[in-house]
Structure 1
Amino acid sequence: MNTDVAPPLGRRQQAWRLAAAAAMGLPTWLSLGVVLHRQADGTGSWFLIGDPLVALGCLAALLWRRRFPRAVAMTVAIVSTASALAGGTALLALSSVATRRRPMEIGSVALVYLAASQIPSPYPTQDAPGSTWFRFALPALAAGIAVAVGMAVGARRVEVRSLRERAESAEREQTARAERARTLERNRIAREMHDVLAHRISLVALQAGVLDHRGDLSAEENRVLVRGIAEGSHQALEELRDVLGVLRAEPGRPEPPQPDLGHIPGLVEEARGSGLDVTLSTTVTGRPSDVVARTCYRIVQEGLTNAAKHAPGARVHVTLAGTAGGHLTVSVRNSATTATTARPPTSGFGLLGLSERVDLVGGRLDHRPTPGDGYLLTAALPWPGPVLEERT
């Protein structure tokens, strides 16, 4: 923003300033009329017609003082010497220049104003003793007051402009923080919905694929698979309802409990019941923090989901190990696929969201193919000791 350009004035503000400029010259003009009336027979046509017309022209010139401040101020300072009523317009023009707070510009206009004030008046008045000094001191005093007022107004404008810019900057920052918070919340919700639904739908798709490609199943096995599909679909709807309930919850309302380390055996049993060959081995001693435990659960869930999607019929082995003061390590390894079923569509965001989860707790995530067309998903999550947890 250009600090040299004054803010535009409204019509009411412009009219008020012009009226003030005319009012400042009115006492001088009336006093001069009284003096002229006493010294001569009448005041003369210039006093009654020419003087007001010159003042009116100076007032009209002030309308352009913000676009051409120095030119207008110098012109009005020179022309106003022919009009007693235009004295206020010259001071207003000088004060307007002073609001820009440019010493060279203010000095040049002030010198022109003082020099113009020494031009002989068109009125035949008698000079009193010491009037030469008075004719210089009075304009100098008036110019000094006009410059001081103008610089004070300019300083106030700069301060108001600075405050406005700071307020606008704070508002922009607040808007950016709110947008970032909304983006983070949307990403968190997207991760939750993916973690909750992708696993459930993958198991349903796995069971449906077995029904489609296995023609040697007994009636009881078919009923078990169909019942598993129905139950899995119902659970997917229930979990989706829970996620949507979190979205619609009022601020301050506690969220429903999230799965943690103790829910992993149930997760493995559920996957095993859907036809996935899963084994679980754990050597975890102690209880990690809720965030670490929930992240560990999501890692296992994503590993089983990917195994069900991309390696149907493969053997999956889940390993958990760790203790307080070290790391909680998680690995999900699956062998090569042994079935040829139609694979469900993938979003491609599962491992990306999982990486974000692991990064948030300060852990490391690794996933890569293994020899024999298998796949390995591993993570190391920090598990501070009791002393460190108390300090933090």
Structure 2
Amino acid sequence: MRGWVTAWRARLPNAIGTPDGVCRPVLPAWPFLVIATFALAASLVVFPPAGPRSWLAALLAVGICLPALLAQRLPLAAGLAAGVLNLVMAFVLVAALPREVVSPPWFLNAAPPQLAAAYTIGFALPVRAVVVALAGVVASGVVFVLAVGRVPLPAELWTWAALLVVAALLGIRQKERHARALRWIADGAQRRVQDERDRIARELHDVVAHHMSVIAVRAVSASRRIPDVSDAAAREFADLGTGAREALGELRQLLGVLRDDTGPELEPQPGLGDLSRLAERTRGAGSSVALSVAEPSGVPAAAAVSAYRIVQEALSNVSRHATGARVHVRVGPDEGGTQLVVEVVNDPPPGPSAPGVSGGHGLDGMRERARLLGGACVAGPTPSGGFRVRAELPLRMLS
């Protein structure tokens, strides 16, 4: 039943987008206006209103134009108007007007608007709806012929019905061409997106990956290149080298995703079990991290990865903007067990932090990750002067 309601409300697409950014109409309005004008003029010339009921004949001439006026926007309504018009002429106007004033549906003044309606019905509606709509219009024509007493059915009736079918088939063919054009546009947009992803991947590989490799090599070899390095400094350099290599590995994984988002992942994605190592790394940067993780059973992989990335970005912001501040990280389900709550709250820094470079994309990235999963992420300062990030990621919907 819902499908039929959709068909009754069917409207034609207004325009089609092209790669040059110009929108061109699928079916412009002027042909339908020309058909309606022609039908009105032909009705008034061939069957001029005369006699005491001339107003009724004039109203009939206007009604003949109605299918053409509705066809562009409401094709099924245009077909309904054509069928109703035939029935009205059969049962009302034949009794009220002279028969020579009432035009059959296949006459030159009445046929073009109904052919326009059949064309747009074929273009806009499913095939089953097209068959039912055309059957209704043809049935109304048969009723008209029987009402005026023309038995057997004239050949003009079947010619008119055949023309309606041809018009609908032309509409179906145009619909298929329109669908191919839309697919071509979508494929072109996808190709342009992939080209841009490849360009970004090349730039990341040529610039960022190179610098990260240099950092990793220099950090690992620092204890051997620099004389009299203390054990604490050597461990610090080793941790820096380890972090640089891990970042380089994640960057290479990201490059693979950018180049081909359909290929298999070469490395497992991080999850909630990796948060302890992330917290330990932040402690090494000078901040005190209190970590509390209550992992519910059956956490979807997408939620686990997003939770890890949100905590990672929040701790990175603490290291950049609130060095030395105490951080409280809590990850676990809410009271109803339907949301995975990720909360990172840091106290005010003990002293002025070194100025960091930030493009403001980290918070946007966290919000986008939560939004893609159907959740939400809010971030803002606390009354005590710290900062708070809280994300809620749905569990049941994703599991």
TM-score by length of 1: 0.48
* Bigger radius of gyration: 1
TM-score by length of 2: 0.47
